[in-house]
Amino acid sequence: MDRREFIKGGMVSGAAMALAGRGWAGPWLPTGATKPNIIIILCDDLGWGDLGCYGAQTIKTPNIDGLAGQGIKFTDFYSSAPVCSPSRAGLLTGRYPPRTGVTQVLFPTSGLESIINLRIALGGAAIALPQDELTLADLLKKDGYATGAIGKWHLGDLPGFRPNDRGFDHYLGLLYSNDMAPLPLYRNRQVVEKAPVNQDYLTKKYTEEALWFLKENKGRPFFLYLAHTFPHVPLHASPDFLGKSKAGIYGDCVEEIDWSTGKILDALLSYGLLENTLVMFTSDNGPWWTGSPGYHRGRKNETFEGGMAVPLIASWPARIPVGKLSDQMTMNFDLFATSLAVAGVDLPKDRIIDGKNLLPLLEGREAKTPHQYLFYYQARDLQAVRSGKWKYQLRHFVQYPPLGKNQGPWLFDLENDPNESYNVIDRHPEITREFEEVLEDWNKNFSRGMKL
> Between the CA of residue 326 and those of 37, 204, 308, what are the distances in Å?
23, 32, 17
Whole-number Å distance between alpha carbons of 67 and 278? 11
Q: Is 286:293 a contact under the CB 8 Å cutoff?
A: yes
Task: Examine the residue annotation and report whether 154 is marked as an active-site residue of this protein.
Answer: yes
First to last CA, the chain: 47
Whole-number Å distance between alpha carbons of 448 and 452? 8
Beta bridge mates, 392: 385, 411
Q: Which of 84, 170, 232, 236 is catalytic?
A: 84
Angle, vertex CA 337, rays to CA 332 and CA 342, nearest 5: 115
Whole-number Å distance between alpha carbons of 289 and 262? 27
Task: Examine the residue annotation and report whether 84 is marked as an active-site residue of this protein.
Answer: yes
Q: Which of 154, 236, 296, 396 is catalytic?
A: 154
> Between the CA of residue 11 and those of 23, 221, 226, what are the distances in Å?
19, 21, 17
Whole-number Å distance between alpha carbons of 388 and 202? 40
Provide the annotated active-site residues. 84, 154
